[in-house]
Amino acid sequence: MSRTVAVVGAGWAGLACAVRAVHGGHAVTVFEAARTPGGRARRVDAEGGLALDNGQHILIGAYRATLELMRTVGVDPQQALLRAPLALRFPDGGGLAIPAGMKPPMDLLAGIAGARGWSWRDRYSLLRTALHWRARRFACAPEQTVAGLCAGLRPRVVDELIAPLCVSALNVPVARASGAVFLRVLRDALFSEPGGADLLLPRTDLGTLLPDAAMRWLSARGAAMRLGHRVQALQPDGEGWRVDGEHFDHVVLAAPAWESARLAHATGVADAAAWARTAEALAHEGIATVYLRGAPSWPGLPMLALRGGPAQFVFDRGRLGGPQGLAAFVVSACGEARDALEAQVIGQAREQLGWTGLAPVQTIVEKRATFACTPGLQRPGARVAPGLLACGDHIEGPYPATLEGAVRSALEAAALLD
């Protein structure tokens, strides 16, 4: 039966939910506080007409729901994303790269055999540990950390493979990251389908990658898009809800955890208050992206892993749709202030890459980029109260805070509307 549905938030979850709800025949209104959609994965218009992102993003081949959503709204992933086999290469050529054209787990085995700079003991420790994880079906005790899981691995393997993978997927250092979630990501990326671990690097800004096309798709199908409208209050209204005074049969909260918790609390409904307490209890981690100009290009994948920090990765934006010489340095699990960070990253580029003469373009610090994906974490579910649902990367699900986690949770919430 067709219902009126309000979606609060036009991040990737809110947009995915709205698209799925329109498919389901519902009359959808999307409320978005900002003037641009996309939330934590959005375009940022910088000086001189330069399109940056609020943060450099990586997708992987296993992001099936996200890729399907892009196709639905008319974005061709093959054009919009640069696909390459997983490679964590350092500037000195060290590190692991998975060869193209092989099936899992043979591709990983070949990658381990060919890891540059690793001793046979390093390789053997990874092989033995990976087989052990597989024998246990990639499950572990909920309280296990990634560091605990990797106790049998040689330090080089942890430093050059596990730590960069963990911080880029979970945005938490190995000592505090959830072992169970990490194993699930590894299983889906590296051990499930061919190409699941492929890196998909956006060739466009993040607005063009999905939110702009999703907005056009939704508007063309009659959905009302209320940009610049920050929802202030939700109230129960018979069998439905009032959103800032306007009646809807269903409401889907697609704002970040803390904001959905604020709205849920203020309803005065007991179920919603209990839901809000779980959402509020989530801790968050920052990510900074330092954009510098004057960077040289390098051969191969336009992404390099870095040692020592503060940045863990650098991307050649000149080969990803941006102007030549623009580099994006990513500092995950970041707690530093902006100015200190910029200077440190310029120093890191000089020391590790030999790059001089770099000039700052913009540094964007997202203090609450992702929830802290720590062991035994309790996440809120999709049902908040009768007629009131929630979606977003923080909702209970298999993945850490990622685009795919956000999109999947949205599809699940939207299915509950039918």
CB of 348 to ligand FAD, least distance (A): 18
Q: Which two tokens stand for residue 258?
A: 């803390």
The residue (of 183 and 391) whose beta carbon lies closer to ligand FAD is 391
From the CB of 323, what's the least distance to ligand FAD, in Å? 20
- Answer for which of 5, 6, 7, 10 binds ligand FAD (CB under 6 A) is 10
Can residue 411 be called a binding residue for ligand FAD (CB under 6 A)? no
Segment 83 to 102, residues that bind ligand FAD, using CB under 6 A? none
Choose which of 40, 89, 176, 184 interacts with ligand FAD (CB under 6 A).
Answer: 40
Residue 351 identity: E
Q: d(Cα 314, Cα 295) in Å, to the nearest integer?
A: 10
Q: How far apart are CA 390 and CA 383, in angstroms?
A: 6
Among 52, 83, 53, 56, smallest CA distance to 67 is for 83
The distance of closest approach from Cβ of residue 120 to ligand FAD in the complex, given in angstroms and rounded to an integer, is 33
Burial class (CB in 10 A: 0-12, 13-18, 19+), 308: exposed
Joined together, the tokens standing for residue 15 give 């947009």
Give the helix/strand (H/E) hosting 364. strand 359-371
Task: In angstroms, give the least distance from the CB of 289 to ligand FAD.
Answer: 6
Nearer to ligand FAD, 41 or 183 (CB): 41
Asked whether position 341 contacts ligand FAD by CB under 6 A, the answer is no
Using the minimum distance from each CB to ligand FAD, give the nearer residue, 126 or 407: 407
Q: Which of 150, 401, 414, 417 binds ligand FAD (CB under 6 A)?
A: 401
Sole binder of ligand FAD in the list 21, 97, 185, 255 (CB under 6 A): 255
CA distances in angstroms from 39 to 11, 164, 200, 268, listed in the order given:
4, 25, 20, 27
What DSSP string describes 155-188?
HHHIIIIIHHHHHHHHSS-TTTSBHHHHHHHHHH
For the CB of residue 60, give the shortest distance to ligand FAD in the complex, in Å.
Answer: 8
Selected range binding ligand FAD among 26-34, 123-131, 213-221, 238-246, rule: CB under 6 A: 26-34
Task: Give whichever of 14 and 61 is closer to ligand FAD, judged by the CB atom.
Answer: 14
Residue 380 CB: number of other CB atoms within 10 A? Answer: 25
| Residues in 274-293 at the binding interface with ligand FAD, rule: CB under 6 A | 287, 289
Q: Which is nearer to ligand FAD, 126 or 197 (CB)?
A: 197
β-pairing verdict for 4-8 and 27-32: parallel
> Any contact of residue 392 with ligand FAD (CB under 6 A)?
yes
Q: Is 238 exposed, middle or buried (0-12, 13-18, 19+ CB in 10 A)?
A: exposed
Q: Please list, residue by residue across 206-236, b when 16 or more beta carbons sit within 10 angstroms of its beta carbon and e when fewer do.
A: bbbbbbbbbbebbeeeebebbeebebeebeb
* Choice from 18, 22, 28, 58 touching ligand FAD (CB under 6 A): 58
Identify the residue among 130, 231, 290, 361 touching ligand FAD (CB under 6 A).
231
Q: Would you say 13 or 177 has its CB closer to ligand FAD?
A: 13
Q: How near is the Cβ of 405 to ligand FAD at its closest, in Å? A: 6
Residues that bind ligand FAD (CB under 6 A): 8-14, 31-34, 39-41, 54-55, 57-58, 230-231, 254-256, 259, 287, 289, 366, 369-370, 392-393, 401-404, 406
